[in-house]
Structure formats: C-alpha cells, structure tokens
C-alpha cells in the first residue's frame, strides 16, 4: 500500500501558467488500482499525453472543467460529471483554473467483459455515489490498513467500478457495506433540510432495498433514521449559535414544531436551546 502527497509546480509539459502555480495531487495505491485526487490553482494545458498504457481510467470533475483531447476529438467534463475511457489516443488535456477532481486507474482486464467506452455520466448516479464514497474512505484510511485490509479495499473498489461500468451494484455484498453507509450519510448531509428525507428515500436514491440499507447501518450501531436526527440537531445547534431564532431553526431543520424541537434538543444535550444560548454568550463584566 502507498500514499503520496505532492504540491508541485505544473509539469514541464504545461503551458500558460503563472509563477507560483501549483498542482496538488494525492495518490493512493491499493494493489494494482490507483486513486488520484487533484486540484490546480491555474489554467493547466498539457499538449501531449504522459499516459500511453492500456489501463481503464475513470475521470471525475468535482469543480471547474477538464478537457481531454483524443486526436481531433475534445471531450469536456464539467463539474459533477465523469467519464470512463482508456487513455489510448489521448493527445493532451486542459483544465480551467481551480479545477479539482479524481481519477481511478485499473487494468481493463480486471473489470471483465468488454467495456463499451467511453462511458460519460453524472456523479449523482447511485453507482458513482458508492464508488466515490469508497475512494474517499480509502484515502482516509490507507495508512492504517493491514495488507489484507488493502486487498479487501482494492477488491471492493474494483467491484464498484464494475457497478459504474455495468450500471449495477450488489448492495448485499459485505465488502461494500462501508461504502454504502458513507454514501448514504453524505447524501443525507446534503438533504437535511428536505422534509422528505428518510431512510427510505436514501435507499431509493442509492438503488438498494431499505432492508439492505438497514443491515449496513446496523454495523455502525446508529440506524439511518437516528443519523438523520443527530445531524439535524447538530446543524440546528450551529444555526442557534449563529443567531437564528428557535422557531426559525425548528422550521428549517424539519422539526414538527418549536415544542418538538425544544424537547428533542433537551434530550440530546441535557439543556434547552435557551440554556444553550445563555451558556455560549459572553458574560458581561
């Protein structure tokens, strides 16, 4: 296993860059699979490809735009989009300033059957949510994994890439449970103010059964519904500290009414919202 963090000037092949420009990359190697996170502070233009192998590459853009040039064909990926394609024929690429994203590289043979490429899509696809959650988790934990742990993480990563390629993920696969939980939590965090947010909605968005999702969360000892309630309370407390009124907070974070919010807050933090606000206000001399 290996992880390499770099913050370097653009490569010698980059053009149109200013002094002090930096390209930050972070590589994680799990067996024969490599995951790279990147971001650039400047426009980056590479007139020729440095990759000429026959690996399969999954490109993800989180912010900005990335244009890959295949001979006379330009493929531009905007924020929130992805593409699976071999680097064969890649003659260069360009990124606008402050572009960030990731690539996952692995042998095409590892995926199995013939891959009909390129595959271009949205990162909000259920299969992509699970894959990106697992890749992020791998970045966070690689230094602490045993050799067998790295192997398991690598195998799960390959299975999730297969899911993206063939639009199917087996949610009952034990190795994918951590990725499923992380993807569900990330999705919940983005929709905490949504009145429709429930464990059932998370299951539907991730294309798994509610039973599968419940089993996955059982490993964490915090059911999906409990996670949603806890996160809403945490955000509500932050909003109170930022100056929002109790009624505003109760409405925004989907509590039935002010009384319900006060009861739930007191049960969680052993004090009412008013007591909490009093405790964080600076005391007058």
Instruction: Give yes or no for a cis peptide into 118 (omega within 30° of 0).
Output: yes
pLDDT of residue 1: 38
Strands 55-63 and 100-107: antiparallel
Please state, rounded to an integer, the average pLDDT across all residues of the chain. Answer: 85
User: In the 8-state DSSP scheme, what is residue 142?
Assistant: G
Q: Spelled out in words, what is the top-level CATH class assigned to the domain 2-121?
A: mainly beta
pLDDT of residue 162: 87
DSSP lists the bridge partners of residue 36 as 27, 103
Indicate whether 15 pLDDT > 50. Answer: no
Q: What is the CATH number of domain 236-280?
A: 1.10.10
Place of tokens 């009414």: 257
Place of tokens 């400047």: 42
The candidate with the shortest Cα–Cα distance to 257, out of 269, 243, 247, is 247
| Domains 2-121 and 236-280 are alike in CATH topology | no
Helix orientation angle between 177-190 and 147-166, rounded to the nearest 10 degrees? 60
Indicate whether 222 pLDDT > 50. Answer: yes
pLDDT of residue 97: 92
pLDDT in tens, 31-55: 899 999 999 988 888 876 555 566 8
pLDDT of residue 44: 84
pLDDT in tens, 156-208: 999 899 888 887 666 667 778 888 999 999 999 999 999 999 999 999 988 88
Q: Is 33 helix (H, G, I), strand (E, B) or coil?
A: strand
pLDDT in tens, 134-162: 999 998 998 899 999 999 999 999 989 98
CA distances 231 to 217, 224, 236, 251, 273, Å, are: 15, 11, 8, 15, 16
The candidate with the shortest Cα–Cα distance to 234, out of 263, 268, 191, is 268
Q: Which of 72-76, 183-187, 198-202, 229-233 has the lowest mean pLDDT?
A: 72-76
Break the chain into its structural domains and give their ranges: 2-121, 236-280
Indicate whether 4 pLDDT > 60. Answer: no
pLDDT of residue 16: 40
Burial class (CB in 10 A: 0-12, 13-18, 19+), 16: exposed
Across the range 6-23, mean pLDDT stands at 47
- Model confidence at 14, pLDDT cuts 50, 70, 90, reads very low
Across the range 91-110, mean pLDDT stands at 91
Helix orientation angle between 224-241 and 177-190, rounded to the nearest 10 degrees? 40
Indicate whether 12 pLDDT > 90. Answer: no
């Amino acid at each position: 296993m290996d992880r390499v963090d770099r913050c370097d000037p653009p490569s010698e092949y980059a053009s149109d860059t200013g002094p002090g420009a930096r390209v930050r990359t972070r590589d994680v190697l799990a067996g024969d699979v490599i995951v790279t996170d990147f971001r650039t502070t400047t426009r980056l233009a590479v007139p020729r490809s440095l990759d000429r192998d026959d690996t399969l590459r999954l490109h993800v853009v989180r912010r900005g735009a990335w244009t890959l040039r295949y001979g006379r064909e330009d493929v531009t990926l905007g924020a929130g989009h992805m593409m699976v394609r071999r680097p064969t024929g890649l003659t260069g690429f360009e990124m606008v300033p402050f572009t960030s994203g990731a690539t996952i590289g692995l042998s095409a043979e590892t995926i199995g059957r013939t891959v009909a490429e390129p595959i271009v899509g949205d990162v909000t696809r259920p299969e992509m949510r699970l894959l990106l959650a697992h890749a992020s988790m791998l970045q966070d934990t690689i230094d602490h994994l045993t050799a067998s742990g790295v192997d398991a993480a690598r195998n799960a990563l390959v299975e999730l890439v297969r899911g993206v390629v063939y639009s199917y993920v087996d949610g009952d696969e034990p190795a994918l449970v951590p990725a499923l939980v992380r993807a569900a939590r990330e999705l919940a965090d983005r929709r905490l103010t949504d009145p429709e947010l429930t464990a059932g909605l998370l299951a539907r968005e991730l294309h798994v059964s509610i039973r599968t999702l419940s089993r996955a969360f059982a490993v964490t000892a915090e059911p999906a519904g409990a996670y949603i309630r806890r996160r809403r309370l945490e955000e509500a407390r932050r909003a109170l500290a930022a100056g929002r009124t109790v009624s505003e907070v109760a409405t925004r974070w989907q509590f039935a009414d002010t009384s319900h919010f006060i009861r739930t807050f007191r049960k969680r933090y052993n004090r009412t919202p008013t007591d909490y606000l009093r405790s964080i206000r600076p005391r007058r001399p």
